[in-house]
Structure 1
Amino acid sequence: MSSPSAATSRTTPEGEVRGAPGKRPSVSSRLFLPLIAVCTAVTAANIYLAAPLLPLIAHDFGSTPSAVAWLASVAQFGYAAGLLFFAPLGDSVNRRRLVAVLALVAAAALVVGAASAGTGALAGAVLVASAATVVPQLLVPLVAERAPADRRARHVAAVIAGLFTGIVAARVLGGLVGQAYGWRVVFVGAAVLTAVLGLATAYILPAQRRRREGSLFAGLAAVPGVVRHSPDLWRACVRQAGMYGAWSALWTSLALLLAGGEGYGMTTAAAGLFGLFGLAASVVAPLAGGLVDRFGAAKVVRSAYLLAAVSVPLFWLGGQAMAALCAAAVLVHAALVASHVANQTLALTTTSAPATANTAYVVSGFAGGALASALAGPAYGHWGWGGVCAVAGAWLVLGWAATAVRAR
Structure 2
Amino acid sequence: MPTTTVTTGRPAKASAERAGSLLLVLIAVCTAVTAANIYLAAPLLPLIAHDFGSTASAVAWVASVAQFGYAFGLLVFAPLGDSVNRRRLVAVLSLVTTAALTGAALATGTTALAAAVLVASAATVVPQLLVPLVAQRAPVERRARHVAAVIAGLFTGIVAARVLGGLIGQAFGWRVVFVGAAVLTAVLGLATAYALPAERPRRSGPLFSGLTTLPSVVRRSPDLWRACVRQAGMYGAWSALWTSLALLLTGPSYHLSTATAGLFGLFGLAASVVAPLAGGFVDRFGAATVVRSAYLLAAVSVPLFWLGGHALWALFVAAVAVHAALVASHVANQTLALTTTATPATANTAYVVAGFAGGATASALAGSAFGWWGWGGVCAVAGVWLGLGWLTTSVRR
With the length of structure 2 as denominator, give the TM-score of the two structures: 0.95
CA contact (8 A) 2:82 2:203 kept: no
Post-superposition Cα deviations, 1:243-295, rounded to whole Å, max 9, x if no partner, equal 0000000000000000113x211000000001111111011111101111222
Structure 2 counterpart of 1:90, from 61, 81, 92: 81
Structure 2 counterpart of 1:80, from 62, 71, 79: 71
Deviation at 1:27, TM superposition (A): 10
Instruction: Write the distance in 1 (CA, Å) between the matches of 2:91 and 2:393.
Output: 38
Instruction: Write the distance in 1 (CA, Å) between the matches of 2:287 and 2:203.
Output: 33
Q: Give aligned pairs, total.
A: 385
Deviation at 1:38, TM superposition (A): 0.7
Instruction: Show structure 1 runs of 4+ deviating over 4 A.
Output: 24-28
Deviation at 1:149, TM superposition (A): 3.2
Post-superposition Cα deviations, 1:289-345, rounded to whole Å, max 9, x if no partner, equal 111122211111011001000000000000010000110000000000000011111
Structure 2 counterpart of 1:301, from 278, 291, 299: 291
> How do 1:347-366 and structure 2 match up within 5 A?
347-366=337-356
Specify the alignment match of 1:341 in structure 2.
331
Instruction: Write the distance in 1 (CA, Å) between the matches of 2:203 and 2:219.
Output: 24
Instruction: Write the distance in 2 (CA, Å) between the matches of 1:192 and 1:326.
Output: 33
Specify the alignment match of 1:99 in structure 2.
90
CA contact (8 A) 2:82 2:201 kept: no
* 2:162 is the alignment partner of 1:168: no
SS in 2 for 1:67: coil
CA contact (8 A) 2:78 2:128 kept: yes
* 2:309 is the alignment partner of 1:326: no
Structure 2 counterpart of 1:63, from 32, 54, 59: 54
Deviation at 1:210, TM superposition (A): 2.4
* 2:118 is the alignment partner of 1:127: yes
Q: Structure 1: 5+ residue runs without aligned partners?
A: 1-20
Structure 2 counterpart of 1:254, from 228, 245, 248: 245
Instruction: Write the distance in 2 (CA, Å) between the matches of 1:124 and 1:158.
Output: 32
Structure 2 counterpart of 1:110, from 101, 104, 123: 101
Instruction: Give the partner amino acid of 1:385.
Output: W
SS in 1 for 2:57: helix
Structure 2 counterpart of 1:286, from 271, 276, 279: 276
CA contact (8 A) 2:210 2:346 kept: yes
Post-superposition Cα deviations, 1:352-386, rounded to whole Å, max 9, x if no partner, equal 21111110000000000000000001101111100
Deviation at 1:211, TM superposition (A): 6.4
CA contact (8 A) 2:82 2:202 kept: no
Instruction: Give the partner amino acid of 1:203.
Output: Y
Specify the alignment match of 1:392 in structure 2.
382
SS in 1 for 2:20: coil
Decide which structure has greater helix share: 2
* 2:342 is the alignment partner of 1:382: no
Specify the alignment match of 1:244 in structure 2.
235
* 2:266 is the alignment partner of 1:276: yes
Deviation at 1:26, TM superposition (A): 8.9
Specify the alignment match of 1:7 in structure 2.
none
Instruction: Write the distance in 2 (CA, Å) between the matches of 1:102 and 1:319.
Output: 40
Deviation at 1:30, TM superposition (A): 1.6
Instruction: Give the partner amino acid of 1:311.
Output: S
Specify the alignment match of 1:32 in structure 2.
23
Deviation at 1:178, TM superposition (A): 0.2
SS in 2 for 1:169: helix
Q: Structure 2: 5+ residue runs without aligned partners?
A: 1-11
SS in 2 for 1:66: coil
Instruction: Write the distance in 2 (CA, Å) between the matches of 1:212 and 1:157.
Output: 27
Specify the alignment match of 1:16 in structure 2.
none
CA contact (8 A) 1:104 1:195 kept: yes
Report % sequence identity.
82
SS in 1 for 2:21: coil
Deviation at 1:32, TM superposition (A): 1.4
Instruction: Write the distance in 2 (CA, Å) between the matches of 1:26 and 1:156.
Output: 16
Structure 2 counterpart of 1:49, from 16, 19, 40: 40
Instruction: Write the distance in 1 (CA, Å) between the matches of 2:319 and 2:153.
Output: 18
Instruction: Write the distance in 1 (CA, Å) between the matches of 2:256 and 2:250.
Output: 4
CA contact (8 A) 1:233 1:350 kept: yes
Instruction: Write the distance in 1 (CA, Å) between the matches of 2:215 and 2:23.
Output: 31
CA contact (8 A) 2:75 2:211 kept: yes
Instruction: Write the distance in 1 (CA, Å) between the matches of 2:22 and 2:184.
Output: 18
With the length of structure 1 as denominator, give the TM-score of the two structures: 0.92
Q: RMSD across aligned C-alpha pairs, in angstroms?
A: 1.6
Post-superposition Cα deviations, 1:17-71, rounded to whole Å, max 9, x if no partner, equal xxxx99x989962211111111111111100000000000000000000000000
Q: Which range is displaced more, 380-389 or 24-33?
A: 24-33
SS in 2 for 1:29: helix
